[in-house]
Structure 1
Amino acid sequence: MQEQNNQNDELSLGLKILSFCIPLAGAVIYFMNKGKSPNKAKTACYAALIGIAVGIVFQVLATVAGFSGN
């Protein structure tokens, strides 16, 4: 029974990409799954955090390179 639960406790690729691109969606997925599917929740959280970090890095690089939103 435990082995079957582990197979269903993996976040799909689409939701991983969604969590990465839209970190707020990753947070929602995390809170929806944290009780019943902890691996899904953890993966969504990590993808969201990585998405935030990548966004910050790109923003810093754009600022240093002289690109502005104006």
Structure 2
Amino acid sequence: MTGRSSQYSTIHALHASLAMCEHSLSVHSSFNINVKSIINVSQVIAKGMVDRKKGGSIVNISSQASKARHN
């Protein structure tokens, strides 16, 4: 072992983020829907615009609903 981990004894079990798993999945799901989907679609559209050698605009429209509390 190197670095700081050599200061400690052997790790027998590691359950990182087990307690926050449900919340973490919810955050990741919301991020994937609200952010990553826009980025991915914009990239596909932009590539098509470049391939066709035509200019254009990509307009992303959002809703205030994304600020609402997610249960």
Relative to its length, the structure with more helix (as a share) is: 1
Larger radius of gyration: 2
Give yes or no for TM over 0.5: no
TM-score scaled by length of structure 1: 0.34
Structure having greater relative contact order (Cα 8 Å, sep ≥ 6): 1
